[in-house]
Structure 1
Amino acid sequence: MLSQLMVLFGFFALVLVAVYWVNRAVVLFDRLIADGHSAGVFFEFTALSLPGVIALVLPMASFAAAVYVTNRLMSDSELTVVQATGYSPWRLARPVLLFGVIVALMMSALTHVLVPTSMAQLKEREVEISGSISARLLREGAFLHPGPGVTFFIRDITPEGELRDVYLSDRRQDDREVTYTAERAYVVQAENGPRLVMVSGLAQTLRPETRTLSTTIFRDFTYDISTLIVQNQNLSLRPRHLSTWAMLTQPEAMAVLTDVPLSRINEELHGRFQQALLALVAPLIGFATLLTGSFSRFGVGRQIVVAIFLLVLIKLVESAVADPTRNNAQLWPLIYLPSAVGLAIATAVLHLAARPFRRRPRAPRTEVTA
């Protein structure tokens, strides 16, 4: 049974990760490719976001695997035969419990190591590419809008880095619109930021109020493009970027480092353990709920609906304790309440399956003869 659970778990995890990963990849593709970044940057960002996606779908995959395997064993009457030989629901739940422990260990590796590391690396790369001049401006044959009121065009870029036939329209000032055209241009790095040096060009200034146009022919002209390349400096750490050991040993110092209350550090720290426990609870609930049903030609659809409802109930409990634990550092034990409720439900349902309520047999009728 454990081997079947692992095989089906791998299948459902692969399918769910693919679905969530594609949705994430579409958003990243629109944002990165539209800004002129290469396909390599796109694949790097999607790879860094993959651990978070896997951690999101593992509990659902474990629940789906437990439900599918239990349903198939009941449809083939295998569980009925095993129970007839004297196996109790508690003994049948051992492989499911071991399966849940394995999934919980996988989830722990993700939440404590892989996800924080990938999130920190992803944040660092976002800051690096936000100030990329080549991605934001150096794209030939396309009209770019690096900032509000600015249009930039390059016909060709030579292998030496020379820009040919440059067009730059600056409409950021209300009293005038300036359009620059140049045969050649170069991007140079100055002390105060990047500059665009245009050679053999024309500057046309249009003043809307007087409707006058003035032109200036220049041999070389330097244009400040540092304002067009606004680098994201928001590299401040968040609790999700911190390691579990740092939050466990120095919670107050981590709260000061990330500029958040201590309650947010406790929420992030214990939330990582809570996610692993939910990966253990989900398959137990699915197995125990389906075990309460008896063999039927119509399947156990009603029990599956009940199992899904119980999972929704656990998520509601998780949502209910979020605000109190986020606002009060002393209430961190409430973070484990959803897992405690889930284990209590699984235990109660297994007890129900072991000792089902049965109707008392009616007393036989006795006929009274005169």
Structure 2
Amino acid sequence: MSRFDRYMLSQLMVLFGFFSFVLVSIYWINQAVRLFDRLIGDGQSAFVFLEFTALTLPNVIRLVLPMAVFAASVYVTNRLSNESELVVMQATGFSPWRLARPVAFYGLIVGVLMSLLTHVLVPISMDQMKQRENEISRNITAKLLTEGTFLHPADGITFYIREIAQDGALNDVFLSDRRDAERSLTYTASQAFLINDDGVVKLVMLDGMAQSHERDGNRLFTTKFTDFAYDISALLGTATPDAQHLRHRTTLSMVGQLQETAAATGETLGRVTEELHFRINQAFLCVAAALIGFSTLLLGQFSRFGVWRQIVAALVLLVVVKLVEGIVTDAVRSSADLWPLVYAPTVTGVAMSSVMLAWAGRPRRRRRTEAVA
């Protein structure tokens, strides 16, 4: 690798790190706000919130990497062009294809990072987060044992505890069940306990009253009780024994086992095939995005108005690549034999970059000057 290649590659990697940090921060904060409302609102601790935000980070990085690759490529190319560094290199005999070599290396390096994310880190983190969600859904303490707050653990259910004693007793309990449209139940008790009976969680209420209101006839029935057991297992949530989600499986577990993966996840063979090749293609898309940003700006000449036209053109080309990706995805999901179409977006992006590089390296016509007598 020549000195110019190392210089340009270092500029690209530095700006890529900057844009990645900015974009990841924006996306991550957006995810963190929603997680904060959901977890803290359900009574979870700050540690659980930090754990979930950390588990969402690999997927957030995967989403922003192509945008960061493109942004860094455009920015570095524009800066080198404005400082006439690219002009000097072209004057020494460097063709557009030769100038694009460090950009291709840059795209490949980011593609390796993308492969690590899509094949390993993202599936593992998503699967771990799903397991933690199932554990939290069964966490009685987080769902119900909150003092002085009206909780809604399920639709139509309202639960309130005035105080939790040191011995685990729940003082002054209120429970409203309005899941039945024709009949609503309300329970109040001076004291209650949570009991786990062979996996069935029951709320045992002492010295209380049950009120049943029936809409038919608008009648209210009141019953006082000394002790009463209420099954709340359905409110706490149970583990989901359904099939593992396709995106929670690593690529290594899918290669050569497409039929088994489809049966285990409940997906079609086309959907599994598309997911496998989609992960592989993400790395090549990083190369295409870097080349599109570089080659498009290489066509522009100096202008006082800047290179906004070339930047807009590069964005339009990226939109074209994403449109091709959306079109071929449905086709591959309907027929697994069409899996080569998954790589059509990358081929399209590289082809457009090649055309622009060839156009930038074409012999330019020189204007003829007329001799003035």
CA–CA separation in structure 2 for the residues paired with 1:211 and 1:345: 73
With normalisation by structure 2, the TM-score equals 0.91
Cα-Cα RMSD: 2.1
Of 290, 311, 336, 1:283 maps to 290
DSSP-derived class of the 2:173 partner:
strand
Q: Which moved more, 1:84-93 or 1:283-292?
A: 84-93
The one-letter code matched in structure 1 to 2:89 is V
1:139 has 2:168 as partner: no
CA–CA separation in structure 1 for the residues paired with 2:215 and 2:326: 56
Superposed displacement of residue 229, structure 1: 2.1
With normalisation by structure 1, the TM-score equals 0.92
Contact 1:153 1:168 (C-alpha < 8 Å) held by counterparts: yes
1:198 has 2:205 as partner: yes
Q: Deviations over 1:235-293 (max 9, x none)?
A: 42122122212211222211221122211111011101111100111111111111111
Q: Deviations over 1:336-370 (max 9, x none)?
A: 111111111111111111115x4464585999xxx
> Which segments of 5 or more consecutive residues in structure 1 lack a partner in the other structure?
none
CA–CA separation in structure 2 for the residues paired with 1:38 and 1:71: 47
Distance 1:177 1:270, change over 3 A: closer
Superposed displacement of residue 33, structure 1: 2.5
1:246 has 2:253 as partner: yes
The one-letter code matched in structure 1 to 2:327 is A
DSSP-derived class of the 1:247 partner:
coil
Superposed displacement of residue 232, structure 1: 5.2
CA–CA separation in structure 2 for the residues paired with 1:285 and 1:242: 32
1:230 has 2:254 as partner: no
Contact 1:77 1:295 (C-alpha < 8 Å) held by counterparts: no
CA–CA separation in structure 2 for the residues paired with 1:129 and 1:235: 17
Runs of 4+ in structure 1 over 3 Å off: 171-178, 204-217, 358-367
Contact 1:278 1:339 (C-alpha < 8 Å) held by counterparts: yes
> Which segments of 5 or more consecutive residues in structure 2 lack a partner in the other structure?
1-7
Alignment of structure 1 residues 1-370 onto 2, 5 Å:
1-173=8-180, 176-191=183-198, 193-231=200-238, 233=240, 235-355=242-362, 358-359=364-365, 361=367
Distance 1:298 1:176, change over 3 A: closer
Superposed displacement of residue 34, structure 1: 2.6
For this pair of structures, how many residues does the alignment match?
366
DSSP-derived class of the 1:249 partner:
coil
Distance 1:173 1:363, change over 3 A: closer
Superposed displacement of residue 151, structure 1: 1.9
Distance 1:263 1:215, change over 3 A: closer
Superposed displacement of residue 296, structure 1: 2.6
Contact 1:282 1:311 (C-alpha < 8 Å) held by counterparts: yes
DSSP-derived class of the 2:175 partner:
strand
Distance 1:221 1:337, change over 3 A: same
Q: Deviations over 1:53-104 (max 9, x none)?
A: 1011101101100100111111111211222222222221121111111100
